[in-house]
C-alpha cells in the first residue's frame, strides 16, 4: 500500500499544479474586476474577483505542500517480521527491497506500518477536498439568479424547466467532497490496534485508500475544468455593487469622521441611522450625509464625495498580487 499511495500522489500532485497554473492566470485576468465583498451573506465593501481567485490560489498552494509532505510520510516500507524484531530476516533485505521500490525503511514497526501515516495522507486529501468544495460553493452562490455574477462554462439545463441553467459541476464537487471527508474518520479510527497487529483496519483500507485517491483525482479534474471555463459577469458585479446605494462606503466615512474629531460612538450611531434611512428608501448614503449639518461640521460635500470612490478600496490590490507574482 505504501508504494501504491506513493504512486497515487505522483498522479495527484501534477493535477493540483495544473489547477494552480489556471488559477494564477485567471486571477491575473480578473485582477481589477470590481465586485462586492460579502460577509455573513451581506454586502460589505468592494473587492475584486481577482482577489477571490488569488485567495483560492494561496490556499491550494498550501495543499500542494500538504500532499508533498503526505507523500513523504507514506513512502516507507518494512520487512521486519511478524512483530517487528527482524527475528527471521536480516534488515539488509528490507533496505534492498525498499530501495528497489523507492521507499525508505521504517525506523521501527510491529507487524505493520503505523497508520498515523495513512491517516495523514487521507487528511491531506480531505483538506484538499474541503477547499475545492469551498470554491464550488462560492460559484454556486454567485451563480444564483438573484446574484448572477458567475456562470459555469457549461451549465446543465434543467430537465423540467427550460429557463434554468444549473451549476451542476459545482454541485457535484460539493457532494463528492463530503464523501472524501467521511473517509478520514475511518482512517483515524484505523490508527487504533490491539497489541502488535489485528485485522480491524485491513478491510477498511481496501475501501478508503483507493476510493480516497480516486475521489481526489476526480475532484481536481472537475474543479480544473470549472475554473478554466468559469464566466464572470463584470457588468452584473457592478450593478450589484450599486444596490447598496453607497452603504458599502460607510466604514470609510466612519473612520474619516473619527479622524476629524467626532467620537467613534457618535459617528457609528450617526451612520447607523443613515444606513437605516437608506434601507427605508429615503435616498443614497452620500446624499443623506451631505444634507446632514452635523456631518458638514467635519466634512465638506467635496471631501465627502472623495470617500465614495471604489479606487480607494482597490489601491492595495497590486501590492497584494505582487506578494505572489512580483510585477506581473
Query: Choosing from 82, 154, 158, 300, which is the catalytic residue?
Result: 158
Per the listing, cell 458638514 goes with 296
Q: What are the CA-CA distances from residue 298 to residues 82, 303, 321 (Å)?
A: 82, 9, 35
Helix (H) or strand (E) run with residue 104 in it:
strand 104-105
Which set of grid coordinates corresponds to residue 148? Answer: 448572477
- Residue 144, CB half-sphere, CA atoms under 13 Å: how many? 8
Which ranges in the chain belong to alpha helices (H)? 2-29, 49-74, 91-101, 116-143, 168-189, 202-229, 234-242, 250-259, 264-279, 285-290, 293-296, 301-306, 310-314, 317-325
Closest by CA position to 128, among listed 56, 205, 72, 186: 56
Query: Choosing from 40, 88, 145, 195, which is the catalytic residue?
Result: 40
Establish whether 40 is a catalytic residue: yes
Establish whether 82 is a catalytic residue: no
The rounded distance, in Å, linking the Cα atoms of 264 and 254 is 8
For the chain, state the CA radius of gyration: 27
Asked whether the beta carbons of 117 and 188 are under 8 A apart, the reply is: no
Asked whether the beta carbons of 278 and 284 are under 8 A apart, the reply is: yes
Catalytic residue set: 40, 158
Amino acid at each position: 500500500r505504501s508504494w501504491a499511495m506513493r504512486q497515487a500522489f505522483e498522479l495527484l500532485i501534477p493535477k493540483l499544479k495544473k489547477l494552480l497554473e489556471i488559477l494564477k492566470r485567471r486571477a491575473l485576468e480578473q485582477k481589477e474586476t470590481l465586485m462586492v465583498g460579502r460577509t455573513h451573506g451581506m454586502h460589505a465593501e468592494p473587492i475584486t474577483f481577482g482577489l477571490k481567485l488569488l485567495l483560492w490560489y494561496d490556499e491550494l498552494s498550501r495543499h500542494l505542500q500538504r500532499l508533498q509532505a503526505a507523500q513523504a510520510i507514506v513512502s516507507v516500507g518494512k520487512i521486519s517480521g511478524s512483530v517487528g524484531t527482524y527475528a527471521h530476516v536480516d534488515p539488509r533485505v528490507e533496505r534492498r527491497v525498499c530501495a528497489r521500490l523507492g521507499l525508505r525503511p521504517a525506523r521501527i514497526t510491529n507487524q505493520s506500518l503505523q497508520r498515523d501515516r495513512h491517516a495523514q495522507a487521507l487528511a491531506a486529501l480531505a483538506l484538499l477536498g474541503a477547499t475545492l468544495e469551498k470554491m464550488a460553493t462560492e460559484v454556486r452562490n454567485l451563480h444564483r439568479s438573484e446574484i448572477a455574477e458567475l456562470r459555469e462554462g457549461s451549465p446543465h439545463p434543467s430537465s423540467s424547466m427550460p429557463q434554468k441553467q444549473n451549476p451542476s459541476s459545482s454541485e457535484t464537487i460539493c457532494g463528492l467532497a463530503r464523501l472524501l471527508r467521511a473517509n478520514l474518520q475511518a482512517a483515524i479510527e484505523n490508527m487504533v490496534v490491539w497489541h502488535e497487529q489485528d485485522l480491524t483496519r485491513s478491510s477498511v483500507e481496501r475501501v478508503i485508500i483507493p476510493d480516497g485517491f480516486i475521489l481526489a483525482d476526480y475532484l481536481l479534474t472537475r474543479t480544473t475544468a470549472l475554473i478554466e471555463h468559469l464566466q464572470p459577469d463584470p457588468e452584473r458585479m457592478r450593478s450589484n455593487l450599486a444596490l447598496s446605494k453607497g452603504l458599502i462606503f460607510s466604514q470609510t466615512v466612519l473612520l474619516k469622521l473619527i479622524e476629524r474629531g467626532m467620537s467613534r460612538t457618535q459617528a457609528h450611531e450617526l451612520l447607523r441611522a443613515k444606513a437605516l434611512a437608506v434601507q427605508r428608501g429615503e435616498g443614497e448614503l452620500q446624499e443623506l450625509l451631505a444634507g446632514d449639518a452635523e456631518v458638514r461640521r467635519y466634512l465638506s460635500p467635496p471631501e465627502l464625495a472623495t470617500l465614495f470612490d471604489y479606487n480607494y478600496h482597490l489601491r492595495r490590490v497590486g501590492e497584494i498580487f505582487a506578494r505572489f507574482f512580483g510585477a506581473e
